[in-house]
Structure 1
Amino acid sequence: MPPSTVQTWTHGALLLDPARTRFALWAPDAGSVSVELDHGRSLPMQPRPEGWFVLEADCPAGSRYRFSIDGQLQVPDPASRSQDGDVHGPSRVVDPAAYQWQHQQWRGRPWHEAVIYELHVGVMGGYLAVRQALPALVELGVTAIELMPLAEFPGERNWGYDGVLPYAPEASYGTPEDLKALIDAAHGLGLAVLLDVVYNHFGPDGNYLQRYAAPFFRDDLHTPWGAAIDFRQRPVREFFIDNALMWLLEYRFDGLRLDAVHAIDDPDFLVELAQRVRQAVPAERHVWLNLENEFNQASLLQQGFDAQWNDDGHNALHVLLTGETDAYYADFADRPTEQLARCLSQGFAFQGQANRHGESRGEPSGHLPPSAFVLFLQNHDQIGNRAFGERLNQLAPPQALQAATALLLLSPMIPLLFMGDEVAAQEPFLFFTSHQGELAEAVREGRRNEFAAFSAFADAGQRQRIPDPNAPSTFHASRPQALAQQAAVTREWYRSLLQIRHRELIPRLPGARALGARVLAEGALSAGWRLGDGSLLCIDLNLSPHRVECAPLSGARLCFEHPAQAHPTGAPPFLPAFSVRVQLDDKTAPDGERP
């Protein structure tokens, strides 16, 4: 889309100097707009072309304000940088330069070094509590934390995907300065910080845009959350691109994960966003851009985005580990081992193949490097979208889960952990909100009806057992608690695997490419990669309860094996049940030798 020929203003309140602020609101459906300040001050805004209203006024940082639409409706700033009194309360003018950064020389980490730990700030206790947890994550071997969405949402409990004020960090977690202090502290420990952002919809409570800026949305296109955002409108594009730049430049986040971009019916917007980010960020900084995209649009991963969450890899592994084939797992019910092999060797399992609905899904991805895919055994969705939020360690055989964890942490794909994985947390991660009244009832019933496609909840009476998202107990039950003995054993398992990754793999990952994967038996496969230094990595995996024939790679050294075995005359020509073997050939054997 070409840029507008009329000036597009920066949305919201921009502090021009310590005493003066410029306010800008895109309100194409409004006849008049004023800024309402404390003590009854009302300042009319000046209309500008294309639906803009603008005002410069004496107004220092910390001032509270609202916008009055046609003298009838008072609303918070949709680009509010901070809220006083939740999403319906007044907005605050913020000085983005007020925080004094302690680690200004931080330039980020190269993408191939990423070991990502996804967490929910509220469940962990707020920005300060997350900050206190950072040293333990560094000791574990994590190199980046990823925060679930922080955009201001109604109430104090929410996953974050119901945010309605994308520029304002959730106040119940702390102040904007507390968030910057968390990022600053992470940088001081060598940790990158990513933020999950939602650019595909607004939450249902506290979004007033339809009242004065209906062109923000499309009448002809809907998403699961309502009318689609209209990215054909230049002010709409700038609203979200400026938001991305705010997080990266003002808050110094090291990257963004864009939620559910398949619900954005304008890939050109995504390409422009990536281009604008790359242009704005200094060349010496490492900034990561990741996607969640059910459409498996591999083409986007060559247009400014580093990687995509690989749901296909997770789904195939989940079916192999648990045997579950309900709902979307049905796409992986018949050939999960073959689909996992395709993920390891080509990126996506679905590269244009038909899904369970008979619809073509995905684009060819075999030309992309392994680092273009973020692999995980669990994340907020894959736990929280279960009716009772069970974790994988409650669903899979322990030895099989250990083998799958070794694959996760020792393959050339980028690994992602979810909070609590490393201590075998028994607590669920449930879906929680803090809506009120009719909306609370609608969310409660909607949540229960989501599971009608699962055999265990086909009966409406069974669905009534599903926890109420709005109950405070649902939120509090989701706090992971470490049980000392099991936590220590599991944590050491993760730490030892990540030590191997840092020592053996990360230095060799730039330039790595997949050589292929072959199915050995149902639940077992062998995959190989040519690493950037020419060495050959081979991972043999058996998630079945049966021994499988598989000779070791000739001349390669054993980096890791589970369960460990004695090898008086060399490694045996088979894989025991629930096992993994990782070998590295430093002599750069020919590509065709294995797998």
Structure 2
Amino acid sequence: MKARRQNMPFGAAVERDGSVRFRLWAPAARQVQLCLKHPEGERCLEMIATGAGWFECRTAEAHAGTLYSYRIDSGLEVPDPASRFQPHDVHGPSEVVDPAAFDWGTHPWNGRPWHEAVCYELHIGTFTREGTFSAAIERLDHLVALGITAIQLMPVADFPGQRNWGYDGALLFAPDSSYGRPDDLKRLVLEAHRRGLMVFLDVVYNHFGPEGNYLHLYAPQFFTERRHTPWGAAIDFDGPESREVRAFFIHNALYWLNEYGFDGLRLDAVHAILDDSHPDVLTELAETVRAGPGRDRRIHLILENDSNAASDLARDVGGTPRRYTAQWNDDFHHVAHLIATGERDGYYADYAGRPLYDLARCLAEGFAFQGEPSGFRHGEPRGEPSADLPPDAFVNWLQTHDQVGNRAFGERLHMLTSPEALKAMLAILLLAPSPPLLFMGEEWMARTPFLFFCDFGEDLARSVTEGRRQEFAKFTAFADPAVRRSIPDPNDPETFTRCKIDWNSASEPRHQEWLAFHRKLLELRRREIVPRIGQIRAGAAEIALLGDQGISVCWRLNDGSRLILGANLSDTELRLPGASPHVRATLLHLEPPEAGPDLEANRLPPWSVVWHLKADTNASGGVEVRAVGV
């Protein structure tokens, strides 16, 4: 197979003749030396200033496997910001990697259609006991049998230390060495493709991590004091020297898609990417990807965006995404979590006023907040109208790294609610038309928590630990400083170890029951829901509230049929209005299954969910279906 290589204007590139070209953008440096780390000793070569802040050196003294660094103004040595591998972590030398050396074989793969997506988010370091790319391969067959079609890797870009969520990446082109070598990650992608699994990568373009980023020293133009984010000075995407900055991140996206064969990217917290240019960097990135690898392969770009900018998800007349494929739908999670647990602290308070309506609106229209004021955001309007977007523009979930890991003790949802409520929510999540996402271990209700963990240097570690505990001071349960001190220390290695999935316990009967439950629903989704997703008419869904206990949502299909959800999301029985839901309807799923007699009598027991498929009764002279029952 043709070698996969992303040609970039920076970094180390192995040439056809075996020599290596090194290029660095260092506009604040007067002099840059290339320092080659040979076994017999160091060899430093002067890099030539080629103008506009660029330095370059071509040499036959380097080859794949050579370690190197850049010496700035005869002082500090720094790693390559475009390093493909850091065998000795973020402060050590970089390694020359020849991407042409990996054998991709001849397995044909052009991706999968987005509407088939059932996503599974995992953290490489805690997904297996070994915490490596290679060990993750051993669990791919489990995911295929579960019904997963896409794995979503949390960020793997090189971070400081041996353990991190990944959102503190400092060298964005280098897979972290604690997980394995670049070829190990490529092998994981290849083996996933051989099993029919798409692979998405979480990337962070809104900030660099607080340790190991040396750009401030020789390329301060990467940042601007004109704007600030929660992580400090914003990355400068629209300043006078932003062309190189934008190219750095756009090439990074292309690098993961081209050189590693990823099927898509999930862009973290893009509301913190501050850019007033036209087109802004997010638009340029998406258009470049669509015109590049997206021409020949199915590439899916997914956003995390607190702004709920529906315009980023617009489709063309044929229904193809113009820029971004979908967005992680925080609204769905927040309101579903509130309903299942009763928790109303923090951002959950925004959904406390009308939770049933907000949940139904998420299912029918995407966002709950489509321009309404957000109390959590001090009354600022949030979101844009999203009702005209198709359901597959929104990824829904009940648990992710954020929603589990940002709890003080990393509790999973099954520890916070009843099995009945959880099954009802899963029956909604896994059968609704929007692509669902599961968090690693969720499919069998793993007992291991997912805590916040990191491995910073001593001073930063102390600050992070205290800051983490102080974050919870505003919650009543943590008002006592002694209670806050019980929150696990993110820098303690044991905090990380506790998060590793215990796959041995998955064979226990209770866990196997939950696994079977997920498999059953995902098989039903594959058979009955997925073939109909493309036929759902955007903007035509209907919702109704069933008193203060339940919801009904009806999606209209192009053939006139309807997919209908009814749910009682309360602890008491719900009496349904109107005629029996079984009239001229096919029952797809009832949860709990033993609720059949109640449904026949027009009742829904507590925490019950029913899915129907109803044919076009108008065509045969029947009465028009309205979503006011089930």
Identify whether the pair has TM-score above 0.5, normalized to the shorter chain.
yes
Shift of 1:492: 0.2
Secondary structure, aligned partner of 2:429: helix
Distance 1:569 1:341 in 2: 23
Query: Larger deviation: 56-65 or 11-20?
Result: 11-20
* Equivalent residue number for residue 4 of structure 1: none
Q: Tell me if structure 1 keeps the 8 A contact 2:35–2:44.
A: yes
Query: Larger deviation: 585-594 or 157-166?
Result: 585-594
Distance 1:492 1:400 in 2: 17
Q: Tell me if structure 1 keeps the 8 A contact 2:446–2:501.
A: yes
Query: Larger deviation: 248-257 or 336-345?
Result: 336-345
Secondary structure, aligned partner of 2:139: helix
* Equivalent residue number for residue 245 of structure 2: 236
1:436 is the counterpart of 2:460: no
User: Out of 557, 565, 579, which is 1:539 matched to?
Assistant: 565
1:564 is the counterpart of 2:593: yes
**One-letter identity of the residue aligned with 1:60:** H
Q: CA, structure 1 residues 174+578, in 2 after alignment: closer, same or farther (shift >3 Å)?
A: same
* Equivalent residue number for residue 520 of structure 1: 546
Shift of 1:469: 0.3
User: Out of 137, 148, 157, which is 2:163 matched to?
Assistant: 157
Distance 1:201 1:178 in 2: 26
* Equivalent residue number for residue 384 of structure 1: 405
Distance 2:220 2:596 in 1: 70
Secondary structure, aligned partner of 2:297: coil
Identity across matched positions, percent: 52
Q: Tell me if structure 1 keeps the 8 A contact 2:36–2:66.
A: yes
* Equivalent residue number for residue 474 of structure 1: 495
Secondary structure, aligned partner of 1:41: strand
Shift of 1:461: 2.4
User: Out of 285, 291, 313, which is 1:301 matched to?
Assistant: 313
Q: Deviations over 1:449-472 (max 9, x none)?
A: 111222211232221110000111
Q: Deviations over 1:534-585 (max 9, x none)?
A: 4310111122101112252631110000112365797231211011000012
Shift of 1:50: 2.1
Secondary structure, aligned partner of 2:402: helix
1:412 is the counterpart of 2:412: no
**One-letter identity of the residue aligned with 1:257:** R
Shift of 1:394: 0.5
User: Out of 308, 332, 338, which is 1:313 matched to?
Assistant: 332
Q: Tell me if structure 2 keeps the 8 A contact 1:376–1:415.
A: yes
Q: Which segments of structure 1 move beyond 6 Å, counting only runs of 4 or more? A: none
Q: CA, structure 1 residues 254+274, in 2 after alignment: closer, same or farther (shift >3 Å)?
A: same
Q: CA, structure 1 residues 260+199, in 2 after alignment: closer, same or farther (shift >3 Å)?
A: same
Shift of 1:49: 2.7
User: Out of 334, 337, 341, which is 2:353 matched to?
Assistant: 334
User: Out of 382, 386, 397, which is 1:361 matched to?
Assistant: 382
**One-letter identity of the residue aligned with 1:178:** D
**One-letter identity of the residue aligned with 1:559:** L
Shift of 1:532: 5.2
Distance 1:379 1:523 in 2: 27
Distance 1:45 1:519 in 2: 69
**One-letter identity of the residue aligned with 1:573:** N
Alignment of 1:194-343 (within 5 A): 194-232=200-238, 233-266=242-275, 268-281=280-293, 283-302=295-314, 303-343=322-362
Secondary structure, aligned partner of 1:245: helix
Shift of 1:429: 0.4
User: Out of 475, 494, 501, which is 2:525 matched to?
Assistant: 501
**One-letter identity of the residue aligned with 1:473:** E
Q: Deviations over 1:152-201 (max 9, x none)?
A: 00111100001100000011101100101111000000000000000000
1:102 is the counterpart of 2:105: yes
* Equivalent residue number for residue 50 of structure 1: 52
Q: Tell me if structure 2 keeps the 8 A contact 1:552–1:572.
A: no
Distance 1:133 1:202 in 2: 31
Q: Deviations over 1:421-457 (max 9, x none)?
A: 1111111100000112110001101111111222211
Q: Tell me if structure 2 keeps the 8 A contact 1:45–1:53.
A: yes
Q: Tell me if structure 1 keeps the 8 A contact 2:18–2:63.
A: yes
* Equivalent residue number for residue 5 of structure 1: none
Q: CA, structure 1 residues 534+114, in 2 after alignment: closer, same or farther (shift >3 Å)?
A: farther
* Equivalent residue number for residue 129 of structure 1: 135
User: Out of 413, 416, 424, which is 1:403 matched to?
Assistant: 424
Distance 2:459 2:172 in 1: 24
User: Out of 370, 375, 391, which is 1:370 matched to?
Assistant: 391
Distance 2:473 2:599 in 1: 52
1:66 is the counterpart of 2:69: yes
Distance 1:110 1:460 in 2: 51
Q: CA, structure 1 residues 98+558, in 2 after alignment: closer, same or farther (shift >3 Å)?
A: same
Q: Tell me if structure 2 keeps the 8 A contact 1:553–1:594.
A: no
Provide TM-score, normalisation by structure 2.
0.91
**One-letter identity of the residue aligned with 2:43:** R
Q: Deviations over 1:90-129 (max 9, x none)?
A: 0011111111113541111000000000000010221111
Q: CA, structure 1 residues 574+42, in 2 after alignment: closer, same or farther (shift >3 Å)?
A: same
Shift of 1:385: 0.3
Distance 1:47 1:588 in 2: 75
The total of aligned residue pairs comes to 588
Shift of 1:284: 3.6
Q: Tell me if structure 2 keeps the 8 A contact 1:557–1:583.
A: yes
Distance 2:71 2:29 in 1: 10
Backbone CA RMSD of aligned residues: 1.7
Q: Tell me if structure 2 keeps the 8 A contact 1:195–1:257.
A: yes
Which blocks of at least 5 consecutive residues in structure 2 are unaligned? 1-6, 315-321
Q: Tell me if structure 1 keeps the 8 A contact 2:340–2:422.
A: yes
Secondary structure, aligned partner of 2:99: coil
Shift of 1:490: 0.3
**One-letter identity of the residue aligned with 2:285:** L
User: Out of 608, 611, 624, which is 1:579 matched to?
Assistant: 608
* Equivalent residue number for residue 80 of structure 1: 83
Query: Larger deviation: 277-286 or 138-147?
Result: 277-286
Secondary structure, aligned partner of 1:488: helix
Distance 2:53 2:177 in 1: 30
Q: Tell me if structure 1 keeps the 8 A contact 2:365–2:541.
A: no
Q: Tell me if structure 1 keeps the 8 A contact 2:300–2:325.
A: yes
Query: Larger deviation: 318-327 or 331-340?
Result: 331-340
**One-letter identity of the residue aligned with 1:285:** R
1:593 is the counterpart of 2:593: no
Shift of 1:18: 5.3
Which blocks of at least 5 consecutive residues in structure 1 are unaligned? 1-7
Secondary structure, aligned partner of 1:87: coil
Q: Deviations over 1:51-106 (max 9, x none)?
A: 11122222211111101111111100011000121000000111111111135411
Distance 1:45 1:20 in 2: 15
Q: Deviations over 1:358-400 (max 9, x none)?
A: 1111111111000000000000000000000000000011111
Q: Deviations over 1:202-223 (max 9, x none)?
A: 1111011001111100111111
User: Out of 117, 120, 124, which is 1:117 matched to?
Assistant: 120
Distance 1:284 1:84 in 2: 34
* Equivalent residue number for residue 442 of structure 2: 421
Distance 2:382 2:122 in 1: 29
Q: Tell me if structure 1 keeps the 8 A contact 2:584–2:615.
A: no
Distance 2:181 2:617 in 1: 53
Shift of 1:344: 1.2
Q: CA, structure 1 residues 570+360, in 2 after alignment: closer, same or farther (shift >3 Å)?
A: closer
Q: CA, structure 1 residues 371+9, in 2 after alignment: closer, same or farther (shift >3 Å)?
A: closer
Q: CA, structure 1 residues 18+556, in 2 after alignment: closer, same or farther (shift >3 Å)?
A: farther
